[in-house]
Amino acid sequence: MPVKDWMPAVARAAARDRKLKAGESLFRRGGKTIGLYEVLSGYVRLVRVDRTGHEAVLHVAGPGDAMAEASLFSGQYHCDAIASTNAAVRLYPKRELLAALEEDPKAMKAFSSTLADLVMNLRTRIEQRNIRSARERVRHFLALNAGADGRTVELRGTLKDLAAELGLTHEALYRTLAEIERSGDIKRKGGKITLSKPV
């Protein structure tokens, strides 16, 4: 659900915009939460970095998506937000937003509903990560992300990004895609992947 569908007017009035260059960080894990963001343009990823330096991509937010929803109820951000491309974001300050939501049960309900969606998406991510085989993992992703026609997946970002999102090395992803393509189940052109059989 896009932010515009539930954001109370009062909170909108208090919003501030900001531009980010690719690679720039919007907030860091442990930083004090100042509010919830909406991505206006570009892509911003939420990641956690482990001690070995590997990034776990938790979410990729694009235009219309909210980020850091959970920060409304928490004093600190619990992951890093980094712009994957040049991007523009809008900050809805926590104080005003929380107040507005408390005034407006309908909006609060809609907000809860977006959180519930998030929960479902995250569970799907965990399901995906549970799939051991790279091939099946990729298929799972393709099946879930097929567009309206049930057979075309439009990639956001690079294949390298996708590899990180899937928890594979880029090499493994390249090989797996090449393999599936050889087997005839998909075709690739530019940033699109087309399934031979709709899901």
Q: x/- binding map, residues 93-132, to DNA, per CB under 7 A? A: ---------------------------------------x
Cα 51 to Cα 176: distance, rounded to the nearest angstrom: 28
Q: Which is nearer to its own copies, 51 or 189 (CB)?
A: 51
Q: Using the rule CB under 7 A, which residue among 25, 121, 169, 183 binds DNA?
A: 169
Using the rule CB under 8 A, is 56 a contact of its own copies?
Answer: yes
Q: How, if at all, do strands 25-27 and 80-83 pair?
A: antiparallel
Q: Using the rule CB under 8 A, which residue among 21, 54, 160, 192 binds its own copies?
A: 54
Q: Which is nearer to DNA, 12 or 188 (CB)?
A: 188
Near DNA in 178-197, by CB under 7 A: 178, 188
Q: Is 157 exposed, middle or buried (0-12, 13-18, 19+ CB in 10 A)?
A: middle
Instruction: Catalogue the E-assigned strands of 50-199.
Output: 55-61, 66-67, 80-83, 87-93, 152-154, 186-189, 192-195
152-154, strands of its sheet edge to edge:
152-154, 192-195, 186-189
Scanning 3-11, 85-93, 131-139, 172-180 for contacts with its own copies by CB under 8 A, the matching segment is 131-139
Q: Using the rule CB under 7 A, which residue among 175, 185, 187, 194 binds DNA?
A: 175
DSSP string, 181-196: HHTTSEEEETTEEEES
Question: Hey, what's the torsion of the CAs at 173, 140, 199, 149, to 10 degrees?
Answer: -60
Q: Using the rule CB under 8 A, which residue among 101, 163, 173, 177 binds its own copies?
A: 101
Residue 47, H or E segment: strand 44-49
Using the rule CB under 7 A, is 43 a contact of DNA?
Answer: no
Residues forming contacts to its own copies in the complex (CB under 8 A) are 46, 48, 50-52, 54, 56, 58, 69-70, 72-74, 78-79, 101-103, 105, 108-109, 111-113, 115-120, 122-123, 125-127, 129-132, 136, 140, 167
